[in-house]
Structure 1
């Protein structure tokens, strides 16, 4: 479970950044060191994938017996310095991938996924390149858990799931524009505990395929980073509220509302980082149902509301930020979970003042709820 949620962290929180980067209208800055065209060059790929299912908990051992196979097609573009964060992160590639898997098991069926990703080269010559890729998106499973007809599928309980992909890739030139790609990676699918059971599926993967390079070889951009942001060293206040829904367990089909309010103070400490600390209150209505199931009729029930304090960091990519928090409950009459919590997510500023988040709140490595947040910066 901890491993599964660790993979959710890497992705539930990069989706907005990568989607914006991959779909943005990138206006090329013609730079002789990198570009010979008006737009940054493209790379188009098609790969075959072979995998196996990790039995990360005893509950899924009966499903970890097949060897899924899949195919992927993708399109990626080289960043070129049109946005300041391109230079801060040394000009990675951003891309869009479509992935199909056949699990060769009627209990699991097939899956279809679309994801956006960032691909960072860390070794490159004229003919070879080694890079690290991480991405996230949405996966669709036509076959899912059903208590009446498919109760063995404890891995996937909803048709829509988050997907997270990480991999190491090695590309070697076969010709001026065609490259052979070899890779090893990990694909993960889960719904973040929105619907249960939710053990998720982890797929260690070997890849083999071809890349078509519109322009190769490429040399690093010589453009220096943009000037320091105008808000560097300034303090700010954030006031926000969030909503989420969660299922208590597979025997209770209802989805319960979870909401919170947060007041935080932060400071921009450099180009890439904000430091932040805050106070917040939570109201999880699924805990009321849980109490009613276990309490005696004449027993006074404890308050299910909670309050906490947290410290955190925001990794900045223009208007987007990768958010990580560590919090501790200060008011917690009903001890339904650990005394601390973690939160990871994506934050996007719609305007200078208004922002939104998609966050995953976690207790001891187990997903608690996906929070949809709206706030104002003061």
Structure 2
């Protein structure tokens, strides 16, 4: 089915749900035990063979159907919660298992259909090793980002329990903190039971909220880590400053734009140490190592505000990132043996049209925790953030941030 058709179905589902003027008030907890079965997709040529992937997941969640939370009403009362998972990738020796913690939100899409999306962290117990596990190039660090997207169908819905079937996607990767980092991707089916803790609910009128728009300004400082290449594969710092201005619509939808500055320790050290590509191709970098290790640009941001939690996506335009020429050459090249012992021939990556796109476009996705509930529209708020930053769609670095938001009067 084409994308336009899917979009029409989605909009129809949302609109049809929105036409109901009454809801059942429900702010109770629920529990979901779930079993996954599926397939781990090969991350690289020669990837270790795997049997069926299996997973056991336990989710604790909260219904948000009430007249108090404007964000919940605007989003048709999604459920939110935390999922704990144990995943076996189908090859205990070479791929291993994962222990995952995943905050999630679940949205009603159509009658009996629910879309569940989550973003969190996993601990992986089996890693790439050049000697003992050279063909698993998917995972090289114990801690990794995890993303999950599932579509559920309610097979048998009763007051106490809701039996569901699901199909979806799971992804794990380290956010470019060590190479290789091919990541693990899985396609899965599931069976689950949503167990409710409260069975009878009062019927209330669906809340009506006035349309609002607030201007905000915000700033953040970020501390990140990344690696440069397989040859320069240690973790080093990336420092970020960013400022933005925009609008918060209906206390739920946050849109804005701004300016970011980043400093890459790996870039700076490569220049200061007068590594090969600097001396041979980019000697001008030696005149100002700090400037050539810097990156700045403009960005637009969109964020869903879910009470204390924000889910954010940014798309940016790099104005200045000169060292990415060396970054690209190091990472997009290849090597092959000469046949003369351990001697290798290294071929550097070419600065082609795809390089130009990735050098220009930046992106960022992650979660924020706000100290004050955004539903109260506080004039001053502080947040902590955890994000993956990317060149176009390929991970660049992982960062933690501390930020401040000031809202002007409604």
Same fold (TM over 0.5): yes
Q: For 1:338 and 1:361, how far apart are their aligned partners in 2?
A: 13
* Partner of residue 169 from structure 1, selected from 140, 152, 159: 152
Structure 2 SS opposite 1:108: coil
Partner of 2:70: 84
Deviates more, 1:163-172 or 1:140-149: 140-149
SS in 1 for 2:47: helix
Structure-2 change in CA distance of 1:324 and 1:249 (3 Å): same
| Aligned ranges 1:355-370 → 2 under 5 Å | 355-370=383-398
How many residue pairs get matched? 335
Structure-2 separation of matches of 1:347 and 1:278 = 18
Q: Secondary structure of 1:283's match?
A: strand
Alignment of 1:104 with 2:94, yes or no, is no
* Residues 227 and 236 in structure 2, CA contact (< 8 A), matched pair in contact too: yes
The residue that corresponds to 1:22 in the other structure is none
CA shift digits 1:160-207 (9 cap, x unpaired): 112111111122228653443211111111111122221111110011
Match of 1:332 among 302, 321, 324: 321
Q: Which runs of 5+ in 1 are unaligned?
A: 1-31
Q: Does 1:117 align with 2:138?
A: no
Partner of 1:46: 33
The answer on whether the counterparts of 2:23 and 2:206 sit within 8 Å (CA) in structure 1 is no
Aligned to 2:140, the other structure's residue is in SS state coil
Query: Is the partner of 1:235 in helix, strand or coil?
Result: strand
Contact 1:256/1:286, CA 8 A, preserved across alignment: yes
Superposition deviation, residue 131 in structure 1: 1.2
Quote the residue 1:237 is aligned against: 217
Structure with the higher fraction of residues in helix conformation: 2
Residues 125-161 of structure 1, C-alpha deviation per residue, up to 9 Å, x if partnerless?
A: xxxx321111122211111122343232211111111
Structure 2 equivalent of residue 185 of structure 1: 168
1:212-223 aligned at under 5 Å gives the runs 212-215=195-198, 222-223=205-206
Per-residue CA deviation, residues 291-334 of structure 1 (Å, 9 max, x unaligned), is 52423279342622122122222332234433222222223333
Contact 2:127 2:133 in 1 (8 A): yes
The answer to whether the 8 A contact 1:60-1:155 is kept is no
Matched-pair contact (CA < 8 Å) for 1:182–1:207: yes
Instruction: Say if 2:389 is the partner of 1:349.
Output: no
CA contact (8 A) 1:53 1:64 kept: no
Residue 279 (structure 2) aligns with? 296
CA RMSD of aligned residues (A): 2.9
| CA positional deviation for 1:238 | 2.2
CA distance in 2, matches of 1:373, 1:269: 24
**Greater radius of gyration (CA):** 2
Distance verdict in 2 for CA 1:290–1:152, change over 3 Å: farther
Unaligned segments of structure 2, at least 5 residues:
1-21, 287-291, 326-357, 373-379
Contact between 1:136 and 1:165, CA under 8 Å: does it hold in 2?
yes
The 3 A distance-change label for structure 1 pair 169 and 286 is: same
Tell me, in whole angstroms, the C-alpha distance in 1 between the residues paired with 2:132 and 2:308: 46
- The match for 2:400 is 372
| Equivalence for 1:263 | 243
Whether 2:58 is the aligned partner of 1:73: answer yes
Quote the offset at 1:289 in angstroms: 4.4
- For the structure 1 residues 180 and 272, does the alpha-carbon distance in structure 2 shift closer, same or farther, using more than 3 Å as the test? closer
Structure 1 stretches of 4+ with a deviation exceeding 4 A read: 215-221
